[in-house]
Amino acid sequence: MYKVKIIAHGQVQGVGFRYGTVLIARQLGLKGRVWNNADGTVGLFAQADNQETLKIFEEKLRQGPTPFSSVIKLDVFSADFDDFENFDIKY
């Protein structure tokens, strides 16, 4: 199992970024969570059976999961967290 923590910077709050992220993650079969941070960034935990799927996910996030979002930078870190059963938004 491959796991990453991602911090998305840019126009990522109030533009459907989290919802779009969930749709992409579920299409790719990823599990994890996405949430808004107080500093205007969006945080994600994502896990997959292979690294290639995570790379595809990162590329789709860089393009912006919705037409209204604009990602300036993604910080991607290897992470260790408990396994998720699905991919959801944390409110």
- Specify whether 18 is catalytic: yes
Q: Among this protein's residues, is 37 annotated catalytic?
A: no
Catalytic residue among 18, 26, 33, 62: 18
CA distance 43 to 18: 9
CA distances from 75 to 4, 39, 65, 85 (A): 10, 14, 16, 24
Q: Which amino acid is at 6?
A: I
Which of 33, 36, 50, 86 is labelled catalytic?
A: 36
Show which residues are catalytic. 18, 36
